[in-house]
Amino acid sequence: MTGKDPVAAAPPAEETAAFENPRTYIEVLPTPDALMHAAAEQWVSAAAQAIEASGRYAVALAGGTTPQSLYSLLATDPYASAVDWSRV
């Protein structure tokens, strides 16, 4: 470990950056919208990898209002059409 705190080294909000150490990966995004798009891209990627490996993607979804923006985004293109929903 380097002893550096990756959160303390975060750039201003207007920049996008990634910080890594052996146990943690932190990505700082400029806006909540950018965060939702990055999360949707990761979700679609994880779904594709799981479907390729095992023929299905099993996922537990959180309730409440926090994930609503992500779920709404996943229901729109290009994300919705990138997932084989019959295997989710």
Cα–Cα distance measured from residue 29 to residue 58, given in angstroms and rounded to the nearest whole number? 27
pLDDT at 8 over 80: no
Residue predicted with more confidence, 14 or 57: 57
- pLDDT mean over 7-32: 66
Note the pLDDT of residue 21. 62
Cα–Cα distance measured from residue 88 to residue 86, given in angstroms and rounded to the nearest whole number? 6
pTM here? 0.70
What would the pLDDT profile of 37-61 be if each residue is shown by its tens digit?
999 999 999 999 999 999 999 999 9
